[in-house]
Amino acid sequence: MARIKVTEYHEASGRLLEIYNDLIRKRGKLAEVHKIQSLRPETIEKHIDLYLEIMFSRSELSRADREMMAVVVSVKNGCQYCRLHHAEALNQYWKNDKKIEQFITDYRNAGLTETQIILCEFAENLTVNPSQFDDPQGTEKLRSAGLSDQAILDATLVVAYFNFVNRIVQALGVESSEEEIKGYLS
């Protein structure tokens, strides 16, 4: 249950209602993670812009790779909301419930490629031990796996973004229903 006031769709007016309607039109529904920001409507718009840029822009990292890292971060942070949402999104690519379950439990034994494991390790380590990245070796493993500097930046942005969102969700008590998790348009 949300720990701050949330303006529901039926209560919204003005700019907030415009933003809600735009999200519904573009994504098919309104997520709790957006509604939790209803007291600051412009942050919703900027948040979704950042999310779309990080998760959907052109990158050497596939969409599945980015969703995979989102799940690792969310598992490590204990953020059930984001883990559920992004495991569902990842399964849109993998189409394998058992692989998703194994991945959540132990990604190293989920049948991933070596590069995917390195990306997951990067996501885990940057989430759990960010201070170890004062040393360039934190990104060297990505480079040695053949990832370009842009791909390393993209991986870092995914990890940083999900740590940011996990904190919002956990601090403010964002919860979702199964209905919310399934069926986004993008």
**Chain segment 132-154, per-residue pLDDT in tens:** 887 788 799 999 999 999 999 99
Count of domains forming the chain: 2
The answer to whether residues 67 and 46 belong to one domain is: no
The answer to whether residues 137 and 71 belong to one domain is: yes
The answer to whether residues 106 and 91 belong to one domain is: yes
CA dihedral 13, 23, 152, 118 (to 10 degrees): 120
- CATH number at 164 reads 1.20.1290.10
Question: In terms of Cα–Cα distance, which of 2, 6, 27, 47 is closest to 164?
Answer: 47
Global pTM? 0.93
The answer to whether residues 108 and 20 belong to one domain is: no
Q: What is the pLDDT of residues 91-102, one digit of tens each?
A: 999 999 999 999
Is 18 among the domain residues?
yes
Q: Which of 56, 77, 95 is the last residue in one of the domains? A: 56
The answer to whether residues 134 and 104 belong to one domain is: yes
Which runs of E-coded beta strand occur in the chain?
Answer: none
Domain that holds residue 26: 9-56
